[in-house]
Amino acid sequence: MKYTTITENHLFGKAFKKGKRFRGSYVAVYVLPDYTAKRRMMANPRKEYINRTGISVSKKLGSAVTRSRVRRIIREGYRAACKESPIKTGNLIVFGARNAAVGAKSTDIARELSVAFSALGLTLRQTV
């Protein structure tokens, strides 16, 4: 599955200001409905809605190597959390790294993201 990233600065700002948020010990998660989701769905070859994600890591967390490692760990935690329980699509999701994320493992972050997605109402209900 291909993950689409947020590259425009104004979308990060909108998610931070207007989005629903969950603050955990490793990551802060901001979710905002994507207003261009329908247009992107029509351009998508599979004709399905997608989530666009962005990761924000401050220079206060450390050197470039440390910040890149935190980004990779958050990305892997997001993949694991989505694999464990599918989430709703058509949203902008921004992850803000916190100080504790520097020494965290991807399983810890995946566990926290699962809690965050359920608290934000993003998880899809599974029918048995």
Percent of the chain surpassing pLDDT 70: 95
Residue carrying structure tokens 């209900």:
125
Instruction: Report yes or no: 77 and 109 within 8 Å, Cβ to Cβ.
Output: yes
Domains recognised in the chain with CATH numbers? 4-119 (3.30.230.10)
Q: How confident is the model at residue 2 (pLDDT cuts 50, 70, 90)?
A: low
Q: Note the residue count of the chain.
A: 128
Q: Is the pLDDT of residue 72 over 70?
A: yes
At 102-111, the pLDDT tens digits run 999 999 999 9
Whole-angstrom distance, CA of residue 31 vs CA of residue 21: 6
CB neighbours of 7 closer than 8 A, spacing ≥ 6? 54
* pLDDT, the chain, mean: 91
First to last CA, the chain: 25
Phi, psi values for residue 126, rounded to 5°: -90, 130
pLDDT of residue 71: 96
- Provide mean pLDDT across the span 55-59: 96
Q: Is the pLDDT of residue 128 over 60?
A: no
- Provide mean pLDDT across the span 4-14: 93
Tokens read off for 16: 């931070």
Whole-angstrom distance, CA of residue 51 vs CA of residue 32: 10
